[in-house]
Each structure stands twice: as structure tokens, then as C-alpha cells.
Structure 1
């Protein structure tokens, strides 16, 4: 059974026989922790990233700088705490030395540091959630301030003793101000047994043991060595008679790993197996969950992997990969939830065929047959959007007499992660899965004229960015071109996705030709830099057979990495299984029927809730159908409406992720099978107003902007209570609408980091009519000429309404257009 539908990967590196990943549901590793979903500077500002992409991840911890810290321009712990906690976040680690401006931190002595420590603790203590903060007083002391990594024993001991003295001083200072404070350390750049043993012994002797033990795992070698590091640490605890302390790997992975589902599964599996907490490292820009959120609200492939991880419930179980503790190999993690009657397996990291053997399938939980549902989260680049993961197969499998089932996965891709869900088999058969034909082509395999072919993302270049292969192609002159030969199986329309990077500081153009004819302009929005890849989606008409796709360079250099062709089989469509939705209350799970999506039904009673994460490729109206046995209430963007079973609704979704909640009406129940969503985002029925229609006051002005939706934008709103842009909009109906703002700005503050791009957000106070102003945060768009959208729910009355943008204390972004779509569009 081929469950991928992809053209086979290149022959190089494929094994002749499938690799085998073994899962034993009978061997529990303990309750699912979800500890490895954290991030360093994952939140940049309140609202960046959005609530809709934060809440589904169930984040256990983030690490941020002290309020007002000079190390970075945003990411202040107290400023982002509201966003973090309202979306179910667990704890915030405060990187206290990030109060300093320079990197490495300027060493002004402990007497300079202590007053800063006092201020940080007092500010945290004033926060209503102060008990959910953890203090990290020192960062990377093996390299910074103390030089604990020196090989000379005498120098090491002198430096160690100075560090220990300062640790004791700061530890006691924090606890004197906050007696219940939790303190983390030593926080080295890696695991060093010599220092860790001495540190624990000192902490035990002086009663200054950390409450959380931290160190970093950043190198590809960590995929091989972390287990021995963790085992050595626990052995040191036992030798010293110290009760097990919480471990937090508060920086993990490198650029080549972040955003890549097949890499992330390798890291997360080893941390979850050992029940430690772990935060992804901060290599680039704050506010994107370390490479997993595109813009403000759009998921990429890495986000979907973490969404799957957040969906694990029950206990994790034993997983045996073909090569345990190895770098860049097939790895996995799995869970069993007997109460929900679900088993889930997440795997990835290797090309080729895989057999996933699941042993110990309990007959009392699953019966004699299971439905196996297989889906793929592919790598879409750091800034490339990723739709809901495509289901590759839903198959009924008989459980063997020995309690095992084997799920084959053909043609797996090393940068992808895969999820297998097992649920009890019921009556009927799941609906057939339609997997359209697709093929992937590496840019470096094309014929290149006048371009460069840099190496990307190898183990030898772990600091470098990921690439789909090990190379990319940079075209930087009008004479540069790439000729790629492709073969398609049938006449038709094909979706063409181009993974690209554009660090030119403005939108860049190339010409696309099919078989040397019919040139069209391809415009690539800016990315952080040429290696920070995004995804451009196009559509091409191709007759069956072989063709040459040509991309001709323009005035700006654009990096091309991978091109994907997928046969278009109709309007975009996705079915979201109710039994895999987030839940509130105590719904039950009914697997008596395997019809439809095959994973049964979620039975909602009064007080129960199912929340679906629904992807939209762009802002607009979509058709949404609840597959339920009875009427339910549907909530979206703050509006609740009655949804009849199997009755299509026209709902406004914002680009990216949308949280759609279903509840049962009072004193009734409804068995929900799925939420089906189709369409490409219709603008029909939406109100649209270009910048030129705004009434301007103060310093606000209308300026030409070639890439703005109408050729103009409103600039210079703010820095004064008098400057404003007021749009008058005419609503056909009263009620809840989504205000979509097309905006641009590129504020930055260079703090001197070699590897951080310190971008700033702008804010605007938006007032509708005489309502209360709503402060909205707009993330940096990488250039003044790149316009992104941000959706804000607002209430309009029928007829004329004013929508006003102000900012008395700072600059609002450029505004190119506003649109307003009614949340529920009656048929």
C-alpha cells in the first residue's frame, strides 16, 4: 500500500528494504509531558504571534528577557505574559542577564548586576502570575563572565569558585525578595560533566540548588549524545543523594533544524522520552515561535508538527527506531490514550519506505480491527505557508493474533513528519482518500545559467539554513536563468509551489516561461534574507508529457530551492476530524461507525466543546459544513450561530489558522464526525476601501506605493494624538465583521547580534464608531513595500460606520487598504 501519492524520491540514499519503526503500546513511559514545545523569544509582542496559533500548541514554557532589558528590542517577559497565559501557556523563564545590551554581556561586576537583579524580581513580583515565572540568573557562564570551559585545572577551579560565589549571592538575593522563587541553572552552552558535578555538590552544600537544572543542546551531535548527557546528569544526582530535579534544555537545535518537521521530530522524541522540558533556540527573529509561525497567524510545516505533538494525550509508549541516538535518521514518538481509544505515532527524519509496526494493541480498547489514518506535514520553508496536513491514507487493518498491526509508509521524505492515528474499527468503511499526483524538483538539478549554487543545511554547516536538498540556486541578474525539465501524467491545471528566498529588501520579480513561451511575472515578497525561505504559490496549465519550466532572473537576487507540482483536482478542501479536535468538558468518543473520515464521532453534551484548527489560504468567505447528528452552536471570531447538521455555512476566515468551536445546545447532545471546509477565500460580499478613501488629519499623508493594493498608502499616522486616518464604511447588515488591514512597515533596532534580526512591531489604536479603541500590534513585514494582512474582529451597525486608526505614543504602520467581511454570510 503506497500511502503518500508522491513521485518517488531520487534513488540516491534509498534503502532496498523498508526501514522499521517499532511502537509497543504495552510499554508506558508515563504521562505525555509536552515539555519540548517551548521557545526562546518565541513571542515578540502581545499579539505576535496571534492567539490563534499560540493556543493550539499548549506551550509549557517560553524564555524571554526581563522587562526593559537592553539585549533585544522586544520579547519582554511581562509585556508578553498576557498573550502567553491567556493562550494556556505554562511558565515563563526570565533570562535575567538579557538586561544587558552587549553580546556577550558586558562584565561590569557583581555589584553592578545585583541592583538589576533587584529590579527584575520586584517587577515580576508585581505581576498577578508571578508564581509562574522562573528566574535564570546566569546564561552560558562557561563562555560568558566566568570562562568555565578552560582545560587547565587550576584556572578552571579559580573561575568555578568565582562563579559559585556569585551564584550563591544572586540566588540568595532573589530568594530574599521572592521567598517562593524558582531559580534555574547553571545554563551552560552544552553539557559539561565536570562543572555539573561540582555545581550540584556546591548547591547541595550551600543550600542553593537550582529548582530547575538547565543547559543547552545546540549541535547536531546532540541528537546522538543527549541521552548520555541526561543519563550522566541523573547518575550524578543519585550519587550525591539529590532528589530528581526538573530538567530544562532551554535552548535546543540549530537553524537547519528549526521549521523542518523531519528534524524537529528527532529532537522532540528524545526530550519527550526522557520527560524533560525544552525550548527551541532563538537564531533569527523574535515572535515566530522560533521559525514555526509565518507572519503573525500563518502556520508552516513546523507549526503543524507541534500542533500534532500538542494533540498527544494519555501516556507515551516505547518507540524503537532503526538507529537509536543517531544524527539525521528516522525517529519517532507515540502515545496511547485508553480513555479516548486512540494511539498516535509521530515519525520522520529519513527518505524512503518505512514499516511502522505497532505492537501490544489492546483488544479491550481497539477491538479486532483498527482504522489507521496517515497524514504528512511537509517542510514549507521558514516563511512558507502550509495548509492543513494532507491525509494520505485511511485504512482498516486487522489486528493480528499477536496484537500487532503494521502500517506501511512508502516514499517518505526526510524533511517531512508523519502522523499515524489508530482508532477502533467500526461498521462501514472510511471514505476513499484522494491524493492528487505530485512531484518535487530540486532547483540545483535544473540547467543553471549565470547563477550560484550555494550549499545549505548540512551537518557540516549546522549554523546554516535548511534547504530541501543540500543546495539552492541563486539567480541575481537578468541574464541568469534556470531551466527545469518536468513530466506530468495528464492534461490539466497544476499548482506550482516555489520555495524561494528574497533578501533584497523589496518585492523581487522573475519571469516564468513554459516551454519557452507565454512569459508571466512572478513576484516574490521579501523574506528575512536570501536563505530564509518562503513559498510562492502559482498555477500553470500543462498538457500531458515533458515540459521545461524556465525562471529568468530580474534585478534582485532570489534564491530558489525546490519546486513542487501538484495536480489540481478541484477547489481546496479539508476535513477536520472531531475525535482529534481540542476538547473542553467531558465529551465521549463513539467509534461504532468508521464511515466518513473513519475516526468515529465526538459526542458533545451540555458543557462540552470541540475546537478545530481550520486553515485558510487567504482572507475571505469559505464553505463550512459541520458533520453532526444534531444542531450545534458554532463560535468564530466572537460570534456564535446555530449550525444545522450537514448544512453549509458561509463563514469569513482570516489567512492562516482559525479556531472554530462547536458546542451542543442546552440539554441536548450531538455526535460530531468532522468539520468540512472548502473554497479558496471569496471576496464576494466583502467591503473594500483603498488608502485614498481615508480622511487624514495631523501629519498623516497619502503617498504613492507601487506595491500597495491600490497604488497608494496612508503613512505617518501616529506620534501624536491628532494624526489619524478615518475610513467611512457602509455595512449592509449590523453584526460581527472581520476588519482586514493591508499594512507594511520595516522598523528595526540593530543591537549588534551576529545572528538575531531585531525587528520591531508597530501598533495602532483602532476605533469603530464611538466604540472603545482597540490596540492592535502589527509585525514587521521585512520592507516598506511588502503588504501583509491582519484580521481584527469588529462590530458594525447597518449603514455608515467610521473606522479610525490612531497612535498617540508611536507610529502606526503604512495602511494600503482595509476590507470588512461579515463573519456569517447568509445564503
Structure 2
């Protein structure tokens, strides 16, 4: 029927009565705010997370501690502001009371706090971009110092009066030092109408009204209650004659929500609909955008959801979900950009079959036909890598006479999020999406020997860690422990096996994988923050068609298991990135005259225009990059620029995780950027730690986990402690220096729920160039090696590459690799 696409998803059979989510493109809610992409302690250091992980998300606000604050060992506002602003970030909220150690804060009285306020205000007001900082004088005053949630009214009033007096004192103290300061509050742990009313009345009367209203929405109940909180707050403003203030929900969501696309879309949709800012809560480790960045540069499923959110342009439009303001149900948000001729819908949170009805599709913008592209981002764990979201369908369809396009979604996953993009249909037929066979199997449903099923994050235990199906299998700690999955595959072939696991053993852990009782092979799992902070291990298996037993048995140490995914591999891994969805600068135009092939149209670049693609690589190495364009373009990557002829392959070096590839042209219509390959090391230069010349106490340390049996340890903490590699470059040019490193520095600041890991730095000097300071995030153990890629310039022949740190310990270095950007 006109206006309805074929069913999309793994289940072709439609439900008898699918739920319905309606999008009204004629009902604008105002310009896209992108306010709900913030994070509390999402940054820990300059470079953690990486600029390539930060910039695509267009983060509007972050909350961090004041410089030198004792609450955590890192995350200082002025320090992380460098990379945040460098990567296009918005504003930094300074959690002033995090100057104190421990939680809850010691109540040493306002007289102890005021000198600290003075120091913070002087430092912030003197900082570059000081106008982009916001002061938060109090954090959760209902819980600390003041007890503002007292049920006894007289006790509440006494506590309230003490707080309001201190609020006025601190507010005026900040303004005395920084007259233009923006101040936020009262910043309670939840929404309390009684205190909000009293606070606003006092603040208006005493001329100490905050510029930004803040409170927290942390429990599962907020998915039900926030709309009522927001409406009540705006009513209080109107009652008191206060113009609407900017709102920042500067802590939201719980552990079970973070990193989970299907959970995040529920939170983000309600904040965006009400045009408020919001920062995800900090429950675990700083520096990973609250569970959305793996290591420092690798996206997981949550990162890709926020990348989609950052890609919304134009105005948001009204979305009517099946059940508004209801916990753990299908929710969504949508946008319409008439200048780009695009409509986008983001949705998730339910496994039920769904019809998405997009109404009032404007004929003047889209014409009589549209191309509808459906993609999915899955939950891959807090530390599980996620490749570019898979396109499930790309279909051209006629718009119904009433202006509706209906997209049926079947076989949905509750923890996944989905994106629908509508663009003008044009001529020709889009290439059908290639969706490989895939199936998932929960560990708790498998045959378990000497293990135990645990229930994880649920509505009633919102601060439990997320788990697929809310359960996982742990206590696999005896010699006979194993989990046996019964799987069935449709054809003989190679299958990618993804294992969601946890490893808190302190070293890489192993299990024995066997198929149908055959000879076992060893699977090695890197360390994770804890047993339930889920990561993903990818291995490859060969399976004939039919049913099989896949057994994961205990190896040298314990591993917890959540789920396995089997996906058929039919070709070399590849992905196409559509130009019409790339980030842009300048004034490129959008051409949808043809929808034939991959990509729903073309982005027309002229001099002064630029498109930036976010390209995923599963590992450091060389990949084949093809520009699908009408004319030559130039690609910029790692500081190198290379000419790319249409459809002509280039061999380029990509680092593990996200790579920002910029495309410019004199005049070219660009449809897509196509990336293929596994990350070849052919042509790279590799040097083990043993090849370096060590000085000043740096020494080789034997290790069974290092690639050649030893690593460089005791490096730094002195100007003379260095490691010098001699690199023989076959050609001059721009290379990527990949450092394989490990360290596990931590400092316990007295938090039961935060893992206070610390980063290390190293100063890297190449030849006669100035040293460059590089940050290396904690690797969860001393025996797990991660990589950081650093662009460097080498001359032909011998080059000295020296590592050191005069004032602190550098990370342990296993080895280094170098690959010329253009291979």
C-alpha cells in the first residue's frame, strides 16, 4: 500500500496489533537543542576521552570539579576544558563543593567554605573562555549539610533558612570576584516542589536568582515523573513572576541506563522535548563520557546513539509514543530540516513490533516519493566496541495521499535504538541493505555447570549494572565451570562470535571455547572495571549448517558471561558512510535527484565547504578507503591530506575506534565514503621495548603478558629517565605512532560507587621537534595493553623517538608501531 514500507527487522511476520509511534512533521517544537548529551565527570584528563570521540557528539555541557578539588583524583574543570572547548564543547559546570574530599562532604561550616569559594572564583574568572563556565555553589543540599528533605515542617524551615542564608552569602561572594558569573542551583538530588518554591521566592526577593535552574533526575521513576516535575516548575515560575530560566538536569539516569541505547533514548527524548539541558550521572569511572566511550577513542552502542542525536538538525517535531511518561516503554524524538530536506526519527526502549507513522510529510520538501533508511545501534556493554550502525533497510516509497509514510519495525531489541531517515526519493532504486544473518543467545538460558545466574539492573534495582535480559552468569570459578550454548546456523561458513563478558581478575583471563566437544581453543579476555561492567570479545568460528554446542569453560581465571551473538561473515568487513549525514561546514548543497546505489543522495561540495565523516576501525592498521564522488576530492586524516579520485581505492592508516576524515573539493557531488578491511599491519614498522635505549632508571621488566616477554617499566619520574627508540622510516612523511602501553594507577577517595582510576602521561619527542605530552588512560590492570595513536612527522632514514616524564611516572611500554598515513 502506498506510504507503507515492507516490514523491517529480523521477524518478517507482523504482530496482530503492533504498537504505534506517530511523528507529526507539521508540529514544530522549536530548534534542535541537543541539550541532553552532557556528562558528569565525562572527561578525566586532557585527551581522555580523545578529541575524535568528543567532537562528533557536539556536547553542550559537562559537570566537573574545581581545579585541585579533592573529591576525585582527576576531572579538574580548567584542565579538561582545554580538550572540551578544542572539540567544540559548550559550557563547563563547576561543581564547587567537590573541592572537599569524600562523600558526603564534611560539614565544616560556611566559614571554612568561603575561602575555597574565593579561590575557585578567582581561578575560573581568570581562565580563557571564562564566560563558558557556570558556578554550582551547592551539590545536593537536601542531602549534605542542610537536610532540606526533613518531614517535620519546623525542622525543614530551620534548615531551609540556613541554606538560603548561605546561598545568598556564596552567591554574592562569587559575584564580588566575577561580576559576570553565571550561577546555577539549588541543585537538589531530586525535584522537591516545596524547596523550589521557597528558594525562588527568596532568590527573587534578595536579587540572588540563579541564571540556570538545576536539579537531579536519577531513579527509574524519573522516566514517569519528569514531565510533571517540569510542568510544576514552570508553573511556580509563572506564579512568582519569574521569566523562564534555563534548566540543566545536571545528573540523570542510573547504571542500568548508561551505555544502553534503548534506555538512553527514553531519557533524551523527554529532555529534548522540553528543551532542557541534561548531564548523565557519574557512577563509575571518569573519562568515558559516563559509559559511552571504550578506552579513550572507541565507540560503543551508546556513543553511536549520541552521535545520531548530535546529527539532528532543523526543528524537533511532535512525537506521540504508545505510552507517554511510562517507564521502560517505546519513546522517541524526531527532527525536520527543510533546508537539508531530511527528517530523522530516533526511537527505542521496547521489543514489541512497532509501526512508525510519519505524518504530514511536506510535498514541497520531499516530493511524491521518499527514501526511508533504517539503522540500528545495539547495546555492546559499557566497554564493548561497536562498529558503524548497521543499515537494516533502504527503501523508496510513495508518500500516501494524506502525507503519511509508515515504517513497520519488527524483531526489535529492547536495549537497542533505531534511526529512520527520510530523504527525497529522486530517480532510480536505492541499493538494498545487506543484512547478514545474526542470532543472540543469553548465557542464563544456556546449560550451566558450576555457575550461578544473577539478576542485574532492573526497574527496582536501577543502580545495578545493565545486563542483556537483566541477567548474567557468574561464579564460574571452579575447574568444572562452563556454559554450553545450543546454537543453530543456516549455512556453512565463517561466523563472527561476540561474547559479552566481565573480568575483574586483575590480569587477562581465559576460557576454553569448544564446538561440539571438539578440541578447545583459548579465548583471552582483557580486564574490565569489575565483574559486571560489561565488555565485548570478538572471535571467529567456522560452523557447518545446523545445530551446534558452543561451550565456554573456565580457563586460568574466572570470567562472567552475559550473552553471545553469532553473525554470518560473507565478505571483508566494510561500511559506507553517507555524505548527506556527515557533519558540514561552509554552505554545501544537498542533491537528491538520484537515489540509485548506496547513499540516499549527494552532498555537493564547493571551495570553502567541508564534510567530516566519523569512520570506525576495529583495530590500528591499514584500510581501503574509496570516495564515491563525481569528481576528485581531498581527504584529510591525522594531519595528512591526500587526493582521492572517484571510486579509486586508497590505503590509509586508521587508529582503533573513531577516525574523523574531512573531505573537501573544488566542486564535487559526494555520495559516500566506503571503508573496508580488517586493519592490515603490512608495511608498518614495529619495535619491541627491548630495542629501546633506556636511561635514568627505566628498565626492562619480564612479563608473560607483554608481546615479546618484557616491557619498559620505571619510566619517568625524573628528567633523566627515558626510553629512546631508533625508527628507520623508508620515506619521509606523516606517520601514526601507536604506543602499546599499560598501567593501573588509582587513588581511593572514599567513594563506594566511583572507581577513581588515574591517567599517566608521557612526553614524546621525535627528532628535533618539541616534546608532545600524551595522556594514557588506566588499562584496568598492569598486564593489559591498550593502544594510543599519535600523529608524528618522520624524515627518511633514522629517527629518534624518545619517551619520558620529568615529574611523574610514564606508563609501561610494551612496544611501538608506526604506519605512514598514506600506505
TM-score by length of structure 2 reads 0.99
Would the aligned equivalents of 2:9 and 2:412 in 1 still touch at CA under 8 Å? no
Deviation at 1:18, TM superposition (A): 1.4
1:671 to 669, 672, 678: 669
Aligned to 1:683: 681
Would the aligned equivalents of 2:8 and 2:408 in 1 still touch at CA under 8 Å? no
CA–CA distance in structure 2, aligned partners of residues 578 and 70 of structure 1: 46
Aligned to 1:710: 708
Aligned to 1:416: 416
Deviation at 1:317, TM superposition (A): 0.1
CA–CA distance in structure 1, aligned partners of residues 683 and 268 of structure 2: 44
Deviation at 1:7, TM superposition (A): 6.7
Residues 541, 8 of structure 1: alpha-carbon distance in 2 compared, 3 angstrom cutoff? farther
Aligned to 2:613: 612
1:818 to 802, 810, 816: 816
Aligned to 1:625: 626
Would the aligned equivalents of 2:9 and 2:409 in 1 still touch at CA under 8 Å? no
Verify: 1:728 aligned to 2:726, yes or no.
yes
CA–CA distance in structure 2, aligned partners of residues 280 and 63 of structure 1: 9
CA–CA distance in structure 1, aligned partners of residues 213 and 151 of structure 2: 23
- Which blocks of at least 5 consecutive residues in structure 2 are unaligned? none
SS state at 2:469 partner = coil
CA–CA distance in structure 1, aligned partners of residues 25 and 575 of structure 2: 30
CA–CA distance in structure 2, aligned partners of residues 509 and 15 of structure 1: 42
SS state at 1:469 partner = helix
Verify: 1:779 aligned to 2:777, yes or no.
yes
Aligned to 1:492: 493
Aligned to 2:802: 804
Q: Deviations over 1:412-454 (max 9, x none)?
A: 1000000000000011111121100000000000010100111
Aligned to 2:538: 537
Aligned to 1:105: 105
Deviation at 1:356, TM superposition (A): 0.5
Aligned to 2:603: 602
Deviation at 1:2, TM superposition (A): 6.4
SS state at 2:727 partner = strand
Q: Deviations over 1:561-586 (max 9, x none)?
A: 01000000111100000000000100
Q: Deviations over 1:258-292 (max 9, x none)?
A: 00000000000000000000000000000000000
Aligned to 1:637: 638
SS state at 1:550 partner = strand
Would the aligned equivalents of 1:630 and 1:669 in 2 still touch at CA under 8 Å? yes
CA–CA distance in structure 2, aligned partners of residues 733 and 110 of structure 1: 64
Counterpart mapping for 1:282-321 below 5 A? 282-321=282-321
SS state at 1:84 partner = helix
CA–CA distance in structure 2, aligned partners of residues 179 and 317 of structure 1: 38
Would the aligned equivalents of 2:11 and 2:410 in 1 still touch at CA under 8 Å? no
CA–CA distance in structure 2, aligned partners of residues 129 and 420 of structure 1: 38
Would the aligned equivalents of 1:7 and 1:439 in 2 still touch at CA under 8 Å? no
Aligned to 2:172: 172
Counterpart mapping for 1:694-705 below 5 A? 694-705=692-703
CA–CA distance in structure 2, aligned partners of residues 573 and 498 of structure 1: 21
Q: Deviations over 1:621-642 (max 9, x none)?
A: 0000011111111100001111
SS state at 1:339 partner = coil
CA–CA distance in structure 1, aligned partners of residues 10 and 345 of structure 2: 21
Counterpart mapping for 1:29-68 below 5 A? 29-68=29-68
Aligned to 2:209: 209
Counterpart mapping for 1:203-602 below 5 A? 203-474=203-474, 475-602=476-603
CA–CA distance in structure 2, aligned partners of residues 692 and 109 of structure 1: 56
Aligned to 1:160: 160
Q: Deviations over 1:760-791 (max 9, x none)?
A: 00000001111110000000000000000110
Would the aligned equivalents of 1:738 and 1:794 in 2 still touch at CA under 8 Å? yes
CA–CA distance in structure 2, aligned partners of residues 201 and 127 of structure 1: 33
Deviation at 1:8, TM superposition (A): 8.8
RMSD: 1.1
Query: Structure 1 residues 71-80 or 352-361, which shifts more?
Result: 352-361
CA–CA distance in structure 2, aligned partners of residues 823 and 400 of structure 1: 49
CA–CA distance in structure 1, aligned partners of residues 147 and 599 of structure 2: 58
Q: Deviations over 1:637-657 (max 9, x none)?
A: 001111111110000000000
CA–CA distance in structure 1, aligned partners of residues 190 and 509 of structure 2: 41
Counterpart mapping for 1:11-26 below 5 A? 16-26=16-26
Deviation at 1:554, TM superposition (A): 2.7
Verify: 1:78 aligned to 2:98, yes or no.
no
TM-score by length of structure 1 reads 0.98
CA–CA distance in structure 1, aligned partners of residues 335 and 441 of structure 2: 35
Would the aligned equivalents of 1:375 and 1:419 in 2 still touch at CA under 8 Å? yes
CA–CA distance in structure 2, aligned partners of residues 104 and 441 of structure 1: 42
Would the aligned equivalents of 1:7 and 1:440 in 2 still touch at CA under 8 Å? no
Aligned to 1:741: 739
Deviation at 1:504, TM superposition (A): 1.1
CA–CA distance in structure 2, aligned partners of residues 332 and 476 of structure 1: 42
SS state at 2:455 partner = coil
Q: Deviations over 1:128-161 (max 9, x none)?
A: 1100000000000001000000100000000000
CA–CA distance in structure 1, aligned partners of residues 8 and 800 of structure 2: 51
Query: Structure 1 residues 347-356 or 156-165, which shifts more?
Result: 347-356
Would the aligned equivalents of 2:41 and 2:289 in 1 still touch at CA under 8 Å? yes
Aligned to 1:145: 145
CA–CA distance in structure 2, aligned partners of residues 395 and 486 of structure 1: 32
Equivalences, count: 818
Aligned to 2:653: 652
Counterpart mapping for 1:744-783 below 5 A? 744-783=742-781
Verify: 1:90 aligned to 2:90, yes or no.
yes
Q: Deviations over 1:64-84 (max 9, x none)?
A: 000000000000000011100
CA–CA distance in structure 2, aligned partners of residues 222 and 15 of structure 1: 30
Counterpart mapping for 1:786-801 below 5 A? 786-801=784-799
Would the aligned equivalents of 1:3 and 1:374 in 2 still touch at CA under 8 Å? no
Q: Deviations over 1:70-110 (max 9, x none)?
A: 00000000001110001101100000000001210010000
Query: Structure 1 residues 137-146 or 702-711, which shifts more?
Result: 702-711
Deviation at 1:726, TM superposition (A): 0.6
Deviation at 1:710, TM superposition (A): 1.7
SS state at 1:460 partner = coil
CA–CA distance in structure 2, aligned partners of residues 284 and 698 of structure 1: 36
CA–CA distance in structure 2, aligned partners of residues 639 and 675 of structure 1: 17
Q: Deviations over 1:172-230 (max 9, x none)?
A: 00011111100000000000000000000000110111100000000000000000000
Q: Deviations over 1:27-50 (max 9, x none)?
A: 000000000000000000000000
Would the aligned equivalents of 1:388 and 1:574 in 2 still touch at CA under 8 Å? yes
Would the aligned equivalents of 2:42 and 2:290 in 1 still touch at CA under 8 Å? yes
Deviation at 1:5, TM superposition (A): 5.2
Moved over 2 A (4+): 1-9, 14-17, 554-557
SS state at 1:482 partner = strand
Residues 132, 779 of structure 1: alpha-carbon distance in 2 compared, 3 angstrom cutoff? same
Would the aligned equivalents of 1:18 and 1:354 in 2 still touch at CA under 8 Å? yes
Would the aligned equivalents of 1:3 and 1:392 in 2 still touch at CA under 8 Å? no
